[in-house]
Amino acid sequence: MIGATGLTEIRWHGRGGQGGVTSAELVAKAAIDEGKYAQAFPAFGAERRGAPVVAFVRISSNKPIRIRAEVTAPDVVVVLDPSLLRVANVLSGLKADGMLVVNSKKRPGQVREEGGFNCSLATVDATKIARESLGVPIVNTSMIGALLKASGVVELESLFEPLRQRFGRLAGRNIEAMKRAYEETLVKE
């Protein structure tokens, strides 16, 4: 899902400690490694673990990115904690042809119906995958897999090296979580 202008904007919604900021950085690094232009940055103050956090990624396939502001009209919104669907306006500014990617046990149609969403939707039980692959409910690498399945913004293999660099000896488990989420993500246009 590359934006019509060659620029894709992604907004991540999570809670402190879930890895949303790290996810944004890793996806941007993978895009740069593919020869694209990218930037990633968070928007948070002195939040504590568990407080809502937002992070942003921009990826351009063909020209440098000059924008240095928060993403207000995303092509994709990634939600790491499904409780945020009820307490934050995660769809604010989502483009008409945008995609919502949610960590949820529910199927996309059920999330769409319950939330009254009319956008394309993808779901994956990232918490279950993280617990089984990593031993902890930190869903960032699982949600990267879901993002890649839903959007194709970068290749799955392009994340392997950034994950190795970031997680060292735990990289194998994080790659496993990402690959598994990629396979298990359900996408509904």
pLDDT in tens, 132-185: 999 999 999 999 999 999 999 999 999 999 999 999 999 999 999 999 999 999
Band of residue 1 on the pLDDT scale cut at 50, 70, 90: low
Structural domains of the chain, ranges and CATH numbers in brackets? 7-188 (3.40.920.10)
Beta-ladder partners of 123: 102, 186
pLDDT at 27: 98
Please compute the mean of the pLDDT values over residues 5-15 and round it to a whole number.
Answer: 92
- The 3-class secondary structure across 7-54, one letter per residue, is EEEEEEEEECCCCHHHHHHHHHHHHHHCCCEEEEEEECCCCCCCCEEE
Q: HSE-up of 173 (CA within 13 Å, CB side)?
A: 16
Note the pLDDT tens digit of each residue in 87-144. Answer: 889 999 999 999 999 999 999 999 999 998 989 999 999 999 999 999 999 999 999 9
pLDDT above 80 (res 189):
no
